[in-house]
Structure 1
């Protein structure tokens, strides 16, 4: 059997205000999953494999004569925001239709893209939004040794993705203006509200320094950043890859659109660089090929380039602080929640100590070198 990924979101704690109650997380039994899949989608389940998730419940289903799917059951709190969930579902279909490998939602037997179901998961009847998504083959990027070629393709894909989302037309687009959404790079100062979880940790001073740099060096430049709609979570578990020859990989899947929000192109690039560093053997060198790939589609202006270093550090701070806060609420899930933190604190310290000038030199000289090698072919030699 070829390498197959469990289509799960390994993204850290995903709620907008960290207020999801444990009782709102679904906990369907296999019998409930089987019944819902048959009733809503007309499919007979032959095997069920649970997939990891913090707030929601995900299953890899194999269905008789129909193949593999992912059943996603949203927590009851997020299920109240139907407009946002409808928009996310629509976006995945749009991305797939425009040539990028995203999951798509299957329609129910009544023709709907999703269904709000009343289910008793031990806390009385609550409403949970249910979707059935296509299952994408591949291996999470976190599981392989990323080559410069694959990092270049990641940057290129990030820019292409935002270009597609920018063209989206939908009556609920205003739902993406998510004020005080803690995972948006527009909301970095909100980290202050959670910094007490870092009390006694010397990294707290670094994080305070990054927030100050953001206020002083990024906020004044926001008016010159080009706007778009961000996927917002292109981490190394949300990108699937497949072999494309003996020593190359190609991107085979883009997962988890739940962090979509109105933002800027430069935000997507910063997020991609940050997450590509996590498992890299040469983390400082990651930025070059990712930037080169991104700029092959969307060249940065001077203010965007100048803000990139601080934005990458800001994303590290968001992930590290919010994951630690989440562990306090659900300590039994610590291993899952701290995926990024295992290397994240070390990498944040490395970037901070090397400083903006030295890091930018590595990133932008690396990007220029790769772009020169590529010429007009957009593929590394």
Structure 2
């Protein structure tokens, strides 16, 4: 979200028209879904099929090759046993269509896709038991190991060197610290950036690289009830933040979002870690940096959310959801310190693993 008015703002009638014109489907119901910087509509086709009409923001729509890779990644995961949405072809057989339209900000180009609607509820609405967080950690590690095998002619598009949400780019936050002026959290953020520079950057060469989903937040992980009346992770949504990163980044990001929705946030890290390590045990450098990387992602969430509010004040509530919940947890993590948090995470992860 680099500039004002990049987020699409189409009406339901415009969405209905796109579904009919591009995909040849007649919708009996269309309603808006919450979104960060794209626009999503839930669509029920007249014969009962359920879909999501995804209209990409005008900035990202300038990178069709990137969107092509993201769409292919979903298909690749489906082929390898992890559920993700699938794109439906247009009437001309394309998986996406670049549309030049006016949704209130003058004529701009938007990439439009129709994706399958997956049943289930977001993990944000499920009781976050240790088993479910273990399941989420396991799913994330499986996903990254599958994505690492993916081949595509435009894979190089995922080398997003200046991508603000990449955990490699934590020092870039310094340019945006002014948005927290007067907020006590600013000092914590400054300290975390310093910790990143002194304790993470020297160990970067020890991290194993991979392709990251990059945004495993609590609204992008779907769950369904299982036989024992518990919940199981059933699917992954929204690949718009995919980038070349490191395995440990994915774990840190997922840990942050599992903590945000958790009644016992600090303890959540152990269950996610145990699930992750059941697939992909951490090496020494990764273990040593997990705490600072989790803090760093909390800081990114806070700083960038406040930055985007200055660009999109009309979307303030949606932009600050995670940030508002995250600030008290960030304070708590920082005050507890690396040693105490790591002891808690690694010992509870070991106990959970012993029970498996």
**TM-score, structure 2 normalization:** 0.98
Question: Equivalents in 1 of 2:323, 2:55: separation in Å?
Answer: 27
Shift of 1:180: 1.2
Quick check: 1:190 aligned with 2:134? no
Who is 1:21 aligned against? 4
Per-residue Cα deviation, 1:219-264 (whole angstroms, up to 9, x for no partner): 1111111110000111111111111134311112211100100000
Shift of 1:216: 0.6
Who is 2:208 aligned against? 226
Aligned match for 1:68, one of 28, 50, 60? 50
Shift of 1:323: 0.7
Question: Equivalents in 2 of 1:85, 1:99: separation in Å?
Answer: 22
- Count of aligned pairs: 356
SS of 2:235's equivalent in the other structure is strand
Contact (CA 8 Å) 2:96, 2:112: kept in 1 or not?
yes
Who is 1:172 aligned against? 154
Question: Equivalents in 1 of 2:105, 2:182: separation in Å?
Answer: 38
Question: Equivalents in 2 of 1:115, 1:306: separation in Å?
Answer: 45
Quick check: 1:146 aligned with 2:125? no
Higher relative contact order (CA 8 A, sep 6+): 1
Contact (CA 8 Å) 1:70, 1:135: kept in 2 or not?
yes
Contact (CA 8 Å) 2:4, 2:312: kept in 1 or not?
no
Question: Equivalents in 1 of 2:63, 2:184: separation in Å?
Answer: 38
SS of 1:340's equivalent in the other structure is helix
Shift of 1:346: 0.4
Who is 1:80 aligned against? 62
Contact (CA 8 Å) 2:134, 2:273: kept in 1 or not?
yes
Question: Equivalents in 2 of 1:351, 1:155: separation in Å?
Answer: 20
Contact (CA 8 Å) 2:192, 2:295: kept in 1 or not?
yes
Of 203-212 and 53-62, the range deviating more from structure 2: 53-62
Aligned-residue CA RMSD (Å): 1.1
Q: After TM superposition, list the pairs within 5 Å mapping 1:250-289 onto structure 2.
A: 250-289=232-271
Shift of 1:126: 2.0
Question: Equivalents in 2 of 1:137, 1:333: separation in Å?
Answer: 27
Quick check: 1:343 aligned with 2:318? no
Shift of 1:55: 2.5
Who is 2:110 aligned against? 128
Contact (CA 8 Å) 2:123, 2:218: kept in 1 or not?
yes
Of 346-355 and 198-207, the range deviating more from structure 2: 198-207
Q: After TM superposition, list the pairs within 5 Å mapping 1:306-345 onto structure 2.
A: 306-345=288-327
SS of 1:100's equivalent in the other structure is coil
Who is 1:205 aligned against? 187
Aligned match for 2:18, one of 17, 30, 36? 36
**TM-score, structure 1 normalization:** 0.91
Question: Equivalents in 1 of 2:139, 2:260: separation in Å?
Answer: 19
Question: Equivalents in 1 of 2:118, 2:237: separation in Å?
Answer: 9
Question: Equivalents in 2 of 1:277, 1:122: separation in Å?
Answer: 38
Contact (CA 8 Å) 1:43, 1:66: kept in 2 or not?
no
Shift of 1:66: 4.5
Contact (CA 8 Å) 1:142, 1:237: kept in 2 or not?
yes
Quick check: 1:181 aligned with 2:190? no
Shift of 1:53: 2.0
Aligned match for 2:139, one of 138, 142, 157? 157
Unaligned stretches of 5+ residues in structure 1: 1-14, 375-381
SS of 2:90's equivalent in the other structure is coil
Per-residue Cα deviation, 1:85-127 (whole angstroms, up to 9, x for no partner): 1110111111111111111111112111101112122333321
SS of 1:334's equivalent in the other structure is helix
Shift of 1:42: 1.4
Per-residue Cα deviation, 1:34-81 (whole angstroms, up to 9, x for no partner): 222112111111111011223221100000114110001112221110
SS of 2:234's equivalent in the other structure is strand
Contact (CA 8 Å) 1:273, 1:290: kept in 2 or not?
yes
